[in-house]
Amino acid sequence: MSSWEDDDSAAAAAAAAAASTDVELLKRAWRNEKASPEILRFDSPLVSRVREQIQLLEETLDDFGESGVDDLVVSLYQMDLDRTLFLLRSYLRLRLQKIEKYMMHISKSEDLLSRLSQQEQRFAKSCTEMMEKHLEQSVLSKLPYGYDSVTRQSLSSTEDDMGISFDLIIIPEPQLDTFVFCKTKSDVGAFQLDDIGEEVVDLVADDLYVLRYKSIKGLVESGQIDLI
Amino acid sequence: MAGQSDPHLSIFSPSEVEFVAEDEIVEIVPNIRMEALNMICGDFGPFFPQIASKVPLWLAVALKKRGKCTIRTPDWMTVDSDCLIAYLSVLLLYIFMVLDAERESPKEFQPLPFHYIEISKLLFDHARDDISDAYLVRSLIEDIRDVRFHKVETGLETISGRTHAVKLKNLSAMEVNIVRPFMVRTLQAFYKHDSPQMIQQTDNTERSKAQFGQLQIGQELVPSHCKFVIPGCQKLCSLQASSRHSISYS
């Protein structure tokens, strides 16, 4: 990625941050995470900011209880707190589900691992280790040589009799070819959907499209497009 | 490869869609005095009796439940102005569409709030007495829903192997959620069967049966050539592949 693009996306991110609250940003992250087939980058600063606000409000609510503020006001603040808590929990749980599902795939790739938070990395690592150990003990150790790998069906299955390369990998991977619903936030302009430039779509602001996730991945990461 | 993406992971439940809709801003007229609320999701108020104020829908419903305010009906939900016009034009478009179904006419959706279904449902459930002509508005919105969904359904039929992008201007959140499983699986199925790898595989197996001896040359050519083939042009691909073959054998 060139520095120009970096500046551009940073500026876009800054504009988005100025325009909306942290809850709004978390909600967007939650929706994107829900709709995208693969795991997205974890926004640690955002999550810690939301955590702080939650903690602050919890303390304020305790104070309210002591100082005898109107019940109605307390219940409204409580609702606000509950909504934010739900959002945060749902977001974190969703990521854990994805990690659990694709743990082998994620722990193989440095890029994917770097998208996780430290706690999530620990979780992925211990999860993978436990799974490998379990498979090893229960099945794989009893299989003959060549068939005892966690990641391959068998050593010989990488090539069949004809010499055609078939990578029979049995690790679940997210399907990036899938189609997603997305909404543009600003004009993107003519956007190339595949590598050869045959399919070009003009992405206009605030429009709804169904596109292949792989082709708009970059736009999701730079925050120009929202998944819904 | 065989597994479709897990539907449970990527789909919002109806209550989650409603949760998102509850953050939409509506206007209320409170009948109590209340200090400003500095919440995590934003600052609202202060509130004074009979002075309109803008709050998120969930807050409006909470106040309404306790009898502390009335909710102003959003403009698009009133009968006399926009809604009726929208309704009529939807109907007209609908008739037009049925008549013109064979020709591929652009099937536009009328602009309505992204969460119109959820907002209207919440308002009908909790603030029915604040809506004038509630009965009429409700049946109109239901009609609009039906007509729009019918459009979505007819739209689904036009998806083919060459569909790489679908534009759904003004489709609402709940409609997206309903149509998502059909849409995604259809597009995926078409995409999968049109992909060069798929074509290449069938190509290879056919060839290997027919010309076993000369396979070594053919195999190197086909995959590298197929990379440049547009997905969706199956015929073109196999034709070109075989022409390359005849050259290499001669």
Complex-level ipTM: 0.79
Best mutation target among B41, B168, B204, B227 (most A Cβ atoms within 10 Å) is: B41
Kindly state the tokens that stand for B178.
């309903």
pLDDT at position B9, please? 43
Domain range for residue B136? 7-21+73-192
Domain range for residue A218? 175-228
User: Last residue of some domain: B151, B176, B192?
Assistant: B192
Which residue does chain B place closest to A35, by CA atoms?
B10
Residue with tokens 């006419």: B105
Mean residue pLDDT across chain B: 70
The answer to the question of residue B36 being in a domain is: no
Same domain assignment for residues B155 and B227: no
Best mutation target among B4, B5, B109, B192 (most A Cβ atoms within 10 Å) is: B5
Residue B101 has pLDDT above 50, yes or no: no
The answer to the question of residue A169 being in a domain is: no
A77 contact residues in B (CB cutoff 8 A) = 37, 39
- pLDDT digit string, tens, across residues B139-156: 878 877 887 888 888 878
Lowest mean pLDDT among A123-132, B71-80, B175-184, B206-215: B206-215
The answer to the question of residue B41 being in a domain is: no
Nearest-CB residue to B41 (from A23, A175, A180)? A23
pLDDT at position A93, please? 94
Kindly state the tokens that stand for A171.
């690790």
Neighbours of A183 (CB within 10 A): 19
User: Considering its fold, how many domains does chain B have in total?
Assistant: 2
> How much is the pTM?
0.76
CA distances from B134 to B52, B56, B78, B110 (A): 21, 22, 9, 21
More confident residue, B2 or A44: A44
Dihedral of alpha carbons A199, A202, A203, A206, sign: negative
More confident residue, B240 or B18: B18
Lowest mean pLDDT among A31-35, B43-47, B64-68, B99-103: B99-103
Give me the tens of pLDDT residue by residue for chain A, a chain 228 residues long: 344 444 444 444 444 445 578 999 999 999 999 999 899 999 999 999 999 999 999 999 998 888 878 889 999 999 999 999 999 999 999 999 999 999 888 988 888 999 999 999 999 999 999 998 998 899 888 888 777 777 766 665 554 444 444 455 677 888 888 888 998 887 877 777 766 566 777 888 888 888 888 888 888 888 888 898
Nearest-CB residue to B37 (from A76, A181, A212)? A76
The answer to the question of residue B119 being in a domain is: yes
CATH of the domain at B187: 1.20.58.1020
- pLDDT digit string, tens, across residues B202-219: 555 444 443 333 333 333
User: Considering its fold, how many domains does chain A have in total?
Assistant: 1
Which residue does chain B place closest to A96, by CA atoms?
B9
A179 contact residues in B (CB cutoff 8 A) = 183-184, 187-188, 191
Distance CA B221, CA A43 (A): 45
Q: Is B205 on the interface with A (CB under 8 A)?
A: no
Kindly determine whether residue A21 and residue B164, on different chains, have CB atoms separated by under 8 Å.
no
The answer to the question of residue B180 being in a domain is: yes
pLDDT at position A19, please? 58
Dihedral of alpha carbons A225, A226, B3, B4, sign: negative
Which residue does chain A place closest to B184, by CA atoms?
A179
